[in-house]
Amino acid sequence: MDFPAELKRLSSEVERGIDLYLPPASTPPGRLHEAMRYSLQAGGKRLRPVLVLATARLFPPQSPSPDPLAAAVAIECLHTYSLIHDDLPCMDNDDLRRGRPTAHRQFDEATALLAGDALLTHAFALLATAYASNPSLAHALVSELADASGSRRLIGGQMADLLAEKNERITAADLEFIHLSKTAAMIEAAMVLGGLIASADESAIATLRRAGRHLGLAFQIRDDVLDATADSATLGKTAGKDAKAGKTTFVKLHGLEESQRLARAQSDAARDAVRELRGDRGFLLALIDSMSTRAR
């Protein structure tokens, strides 16, 4: 398997899906729909939607086989909303995202706020409409995404992260809660959505959940390492901002070398979980590899 070519193919598929499943920029009010598309089409790694597509095809095709593309776009809408709101002045106050002005810099704060709200809402609308012919599946997808992105997980992790900035005594357990919630929850959800669409059985869903959790932690630890070691031009976002904000990161808590070892251990655990599944796992294993050794 040619991993870079296959990754490129899946990413292009995601780009096509985004264009297909978002309201046209000309839909009134135009400014809102332009801002939604501006943020969603800013590129990025497309990790979560690619995970949905790659996980779905691990399993034997059903008849009829629901297309995982809408779910892939839904999770990218949700991820993008969380970035738009996270970049706002009252949160991280960031000017740069994926090498371009953040939404509130390109438009204004109110438009960015509403575009984030609209992308969050659109994620659920899209799952409900695209899988309407299979209401049980649509319901399972909505449940999974709403749980992963709710006040106990994604949003809870962002709140805990903010609170941790003002707290000097963050423990390893606190930090793991933040990262499990803020990052791992959505990566886990991406793999579970892929499995649900492919009618994976309960045991396979549990395995995917475990794989996603480890992969999410590996990904976030790698993020901390990169924030401490890379420059803004390479990252496409402001580097060193964790240290500047006084944030407790894996690097601050465990040191650089131990953080790198922890990231490897988590990605090994993710790979072990994926190996428990049948199907052609080559691409998914290579993706896990690339995510935990990435340079940006």
What residues make contact with a second copy under the rule CB under 8 A? 23, 27-29, 31-33, 36, 81, 85, 88, 90-91, 108-111, 113-114, 116-118, 120-122, 124-125, 127-129, 132, 135-136, 138-140, 142-143, 146-147, 149-152, 155-156, 158-160, 162-163, 177
Which CB, 158 or 248, lies closer to a second copy?
158
The residue written with tokens 């599944």 in the block is: 277
The minimum distance between CB 190 and a second copy, in angstroms, equals 17
Tell me if the bond preceding 61 is cis, omega within 30° of 0.
no
Which CB, 3 or 177, lies closer to a second copy?
177
Give how far Cα 45 sits from Cα of 62, 105, 138, 227, 292, Å: 29, 22, 26, 16, 13
Which CB, 199 or 229, lies closer to a second copy?
199
Which CB, 113 or 291, lies closer to a second copy?
113
Q: Which two tokens stand for residue 20?
A: 């297909």
The minimum distance between CB 189 and a second copy, in angstroms, equals 12
The C-alpha angle 282, 75, 157, rounded to 5 degrees, equals 105
Taking phi first (over 0 means left), then psi (-120 to 50 degrees means alpha), and beta for anything else, what does residue 134 get?
A: beta
The minimum distance between CB 10 and a second copy, in angstroms, equals 27
Which CB, 171 or 293, lies closer to a second copy?
171
Instruction: Decide: 200 and 237 in contact? Cβ < 8 Å.
Output: no
